[in-house]
Amino acid sequence: MANSPSGNGMDAQDLVRGRSSPLGATVFRGGVNFSVFSRDATSVELLLFDRVDDARPSRTVTLDPKRNRSYHYWHAFIPGIGPGQLYGYRVAGPSDPARGLRFDPEKLLIDPYGRAVVVPPGYSRQAAAGPGDNATSAMKSVVADPRGYDWEGDSPLKRPFSRTVIYELHVAGFTRDPSSGVPADKRGTYAGLVEKIPYLQELGVTAIELLPVFQFDSHDAPPGFVNYWGYSPISFFAPHAAYSSRTDPLGPIDEFRDMVKALHRAGIEVILDVVFNHTAEGNNRGPTLCYRGLANNFYYMLEPDGATYANYSGCGNTFNANNPIVRRLILDSLHHWVAEMHVDGFRFDLASILSRDEQGRPLENPPLLWDIETDPALAGIKLIAEAWDAAGLYQVGSFIGDSWKEWNGKFRDDVRSFLRGDAGTISRFASRLLASPDIYGHEEREPEQSINFVTCHDGFTLNDLVSYNRKHNEANGEDNRDGCDDNRSWNCGAEGATDDPAIEALRNRQVKNFLALTLLSLGAPMLLMGDEVRRSQGGNNNAYCQDNEIGWFDWGLLERHADVHRFARLLIAARLKREIAVDDPELTLNQLILQARLEWHGVKASEPDWGDDSHSIALTARSLSGRVVFHLMVNAWWKPLEFQLPQLGKQSAGGWRRWLDTSLPSPADIVPLEEAPAVGDGTYGLPPRSIAVVFARAG
Instruction: Give the per-residue pLDDT at 643.
Output: 98
8 Å CB contact between 373 and 379 = no
Instruction: Give the per-residue pLDDT at 667.
Output: 98
Strand, coil or helix: 53: coil
| CA–CA dist 453, 450 (Å, integer) | 9
Task: Answer yes or no: is pLDDT of 12 > 70.
Answer: no
For residue 45, list its beta bridge partners: 62, 90
Residues 6+ away with beta carbon under 8 Å from 509:
662, 663, 689, 690
* Polymer length in residues for the chain: 699
Task: Answer yes or no: is pLDDT of 6 > 60.
Answer: no
| CA–CA dist 254, 637 (Å, integer) | 53
Name the band, by pLDDT with cuts 50, 70 and 90, for residue 624: confident
8 Å CB contact between 683 and 641 = no
| CA–CA dist 5, 28 (Å, integer) | 6
Instruction: Give the per-residue pLDDT at 4.
Output: 40
DSSP state of 612: T
8 Å CB contact between 503 and 493 = yes
Instruction: Give the per-residue pLDDT at 590.
Output: 82
Instruction: Give the per-residue pLDDT at 10.
Output: 65
Handedness of CA 325, 343, 226, 458 (dihedral sign): positive
User: What is the b/e burial string over 492-506, where b = at least 16 CB atoms within 10 angstroms of the residue's CB?
Assistant: bebeeeeeeeebbeb
Task: Answer yes or no: is pLDDT of 374 > 50.
Answer: yes
Question: Which residue type, as a one-letter code, is found at position 520?
Answer: L
Instruction: Give the per-residue pLDDT at 681.
Output: 84
Task: Answer yes or no: is pLDDT of 1 > 50.
Answer: no
Task: Answer yes or no: is pLDDT of 220 > 80.
Answer: yes
8 Å CB contact between 540 and 547 = no
The domain limits of the chain are: 408-567, 596-697
Q: Which CATH class is domain 408-567?
A: alpha beta
DSSP E strand boundaries for 349-398: 382-385
**Rg of the Cα trace of the chain?**
27
Instruction: Give the per-residue pLDDT at 15.
Output: 63
Name the band, by pLDDT with cuts 50, 70 and 90, for residue 2: very low
Task: Answer yes or no: is pLDDT of 263 > 80.
Answer: yes
User: Parallel, antiparallel, or unpaired: how do β-strands 166-169 and 524-528 relate?
Assistant: parallel
CATH 3.40.50.2300 fits 596-697, yes or no: no
Nearest partner of 389 among 348, 352, 335, judged by Cα: 352
Instruction: Give the per-residue pLDDT at 585.
Output: 67
8 Å CB contact between 347 and 404 = no
Instruction: Give the per-residue pLDDT at 595.
Output: 87
8 Å CB contact between 296 and 277 = no
Which residues are marked as active site? Answer: 349, 386
List, for residues 273-326, the tens digit of each pLDDT value. 999 999 999 999 999 999 999 999 999 999 999 999 999 999 999 999 999 999
Question: Which residue type, as a one-letter code, is found at position 202?
Answer: E
| CA–CA dist 433, 426 (Å, integer) | 11
DSSP state of 351: G
Decide if 408-567 and 596-697 have a common fold: no
8 Å CB contact between 176 and 195 = no
List, for residues 122-135, the tens digit of each pLDDT value. 999 999 999 999 99
Task: Answer yes or no: is pLDDT of 189 > 90.
Answer: yes
Is residue 402 exposed (0-12), middle (13-18) or buried (19+ Cβ within 10 Å)? exposed
Instruction: Give the per-residue pLDDT at 697.
Output: 86
DSSP E strand boundaries for 494-623: 524-528, 597-601, 616-622
8 Å CB contact between 57 and 45 = no
Per-residue pLDDT, averaged over 608-628, amounts to 93
For residue 643, list its beta bridge partners: 684
| CA–CA dist 570, 562 (Å, integer) | 12
Name the band, by pLDDT with cuts 50, 70 and 90, for residue 589: confident
User: What is the b/e burial string over 160-181, where b = at least 16 CB atoms within 10 angstroms of the residue's CB?
Assistant: ebbebbbbbbbbbbbbbbeebe
8 Å CB contact between 80 and 30 = yes
Task: Answer yes or no: is pLDDT of 460 > 90.
Answer: yes
Strand, coil or helix: 411: helix
Name the band, by pLDDT with cuts 50, 70 and 90, for residue 445: confident
Torsion of CA 191, 197, 198, 199, to 10 degrees: 110
Tell me, yes or no, if the pTM score tops 0.75.
yes
510 to 133, 464, 653: CA distances (angstroms) = 57, 11, 33
For residue 685, list its beta bridge partners: 642
Question: Which residue type, as a one-letter code, is found at position 129?
Answer: A
Name the band, by pLDDT with cuts 50, 70 and 90, for residue 582: low
User: Half-sphere exposure of residue 471, counting CA atoms within 13 Å on the CB side?
Assistant: 22
| CA–CA dist 8, 81 (Å, integer) | 14
Nearest partner of 389 among 351, 439, 361, 363, judged by Cα: 351
Instruction: Give the per-residue pLDDT at 69.
Output: 98
| CA–CA dist 87, 47 (Å, integer) | 5
Name the band, by pLDDT with cuts 50, 70 and 90, for residue 541: very high
Q: List, edge to edge, every strand of the sheet that includes 69-70.
A: 24-28, 31-37, 73-79, 69-70
Cα 98 → chain centroid: 36
Q: What's the mean per-residue pLDDT of the chain? A: 95
Handedness of CA 133, 135, 140, 143 (dihedral sign): positive
597 to 653, 691, 693: CA distances (angstroms) = 20, 21, 17
450 to 1, 55, 515, 519: CA distances (angstroms) = 46, 51, 16, 13
Give the residue, 27 or 648, on which the prediction is more confident: 27
Residues 6+ away with beta carbon under 8 Å from 477:
222, 224, 225, 545
DSSP E strand boundaries for 199-338: 207-210, 269-274
Task: Answer yes or no: is pLDDT of 249 > 60.
Answer: yes
